[in-house]
Amino acid sequence: MMNSTKRISRRDFLKLGLAGLGASALTPWHSVFAQDEEWPENMQLARTIAKLDFKSRPSPDSETLDTVYDDAIVVWEKEVIGDPFPMYPTNRRWIQTPKGYLPSMMVQPVRYAPNAPMTELPENDGERGIWAEVTVPYVDFVLENEKPISELLKGNVRYRFYYSQVYWIDDIRTSSDGNVYYRAIEKHGSPGDIFWTPASAFRPIPQEELQPIRPDVADKKVVIDLSRQTLACYEGNTEVRFCRISSGAKYDAYGNPVEKWSTPLGDNHVINRKYVALHMAGGSSASGYELLSVDWTCIFASGGVAIHSTYWHNNYGEPMSHGCVNASPEDAKFVYLWSNPAVPYTEGKIEVSGYDLGTKVQVIEA
């Protein structure tokens, strides 16, 4: 599935009416967000993150049955063990689909779970708005601003949010044909882009869902093992969470060894900055990166090294990042809610100094 489309200008956006004032009816806008295909509800699905081949067996050497491109959505029947790709020798996981086998490393587990749109926004801590999570494989958006500000959005590509991403919703509009749209923003790290997107793709996250997990426990520690590519959360000597992660990559895209992306070792790291969602960018134009809404971010080392959610790969157990600790959305959210300091709901961030208030992080390597 190719994902190119004509960019919608701000002039067209204004004609469509979503930038209008008040609660007046809007021009029908559903064609802008026409879904490429029908997706089954409440089933485990797979979103391809790169060009991939369907294989006849779970092996890179088996027959190629078909080829798909970014953002193809297929039914995820089950995960199986097969032969690894040479560049990722520890990842033997494959996804069995009705069309053949896909390597798990570049397949995001997703679901299609549309939501009933809100008709009014709640007020949280004196501010109108709510955090909300994408619960469909992907959803298109258009920009309210005249031109893209983020470098990521300046290429001629289709604008999309992806499953599990979290945004702050601060406005609602309804078109004349009854379709509801949310205005979504990145509260932290954003260069200033503002988005409009179909409301049904978002699940509102109430305040009670983001309450801290066991905040009265004082003796908390996170241990990250780079040799095993794992993360463990401890309360005293009791392990309360264990998961696979992806730490700093050891090789670049051309197979050259790199040291600058290493996750820093040490026993004296501490979580002192946390964000519900953070726009991330870094590096040079040749080897840099930029990502919309990286969720459940817990920064623990200088240079912005953080534990955070991941939607751009599924290769946990292999080093993949530019230094951060990539985790699944579920595991990253646990660390975010469980670790100290706690984050105010509406602000969606906390930044403290010193070593005493945050949960300690130990990074080891055998």
**Taking the CA of residue 312 as centre, how many other CA atoms within 13 Å lie in the half-sphere pointing to its CB?**
14
Q: Which residues are CB-neighbours of 191 under 8 A, at least 6 positions away?
A: 149, 150, 279
What distance in Å separates the CA atoms of residue 221 and residue 362, rounded to the nearest whole number?
Answer: 8
Q: Helix, strand, coil shares of the chain as percentages rounded to 5?
A: 10, 40, 50
Which DSSP string corresponds to 240-301?
EEEEE-B-B-SB-TTS-B-STTPPPPEEEEE--EEEEEEEEEES-TTT-EEEEEEEEEEEEE
What size, in residues, is the chain?
Answer: 366
What distance in Å separates the CA atoms of residue 164 and residue 137, rounded to the nearest whole number?
Answer: 9
Quickly count: other Cβ atoms within 10 Å of residue 34's Cβ.
Answer: 8
Which DSSP string corresponds to 60-122?
TTSPEEEEE-TT-EEE--EEEE-PPPTTSTT--EEEEETTEEEEGGGEEEE-----PPPSSPP
Beta bridge mates, 277: 295
> Which secondary-structure segment (H or E) carries 336?
helix 329-338
Q: Is 205 exposed, middle or buried (0-12, 13-18, 19+ CB in 10 A)?
A: middle
- For tokens 């040490």, the residue is 266
What distance in Å separates the CA atoms of residue 182 and residue 37, rounded to the nearest whole number?
Answer: 22
CA 347 to chain centre: 19
Catalytic center residues: 308, 324
The residue among 226, 189, 186, 209 whose CA lies nearest residue 325 is 226
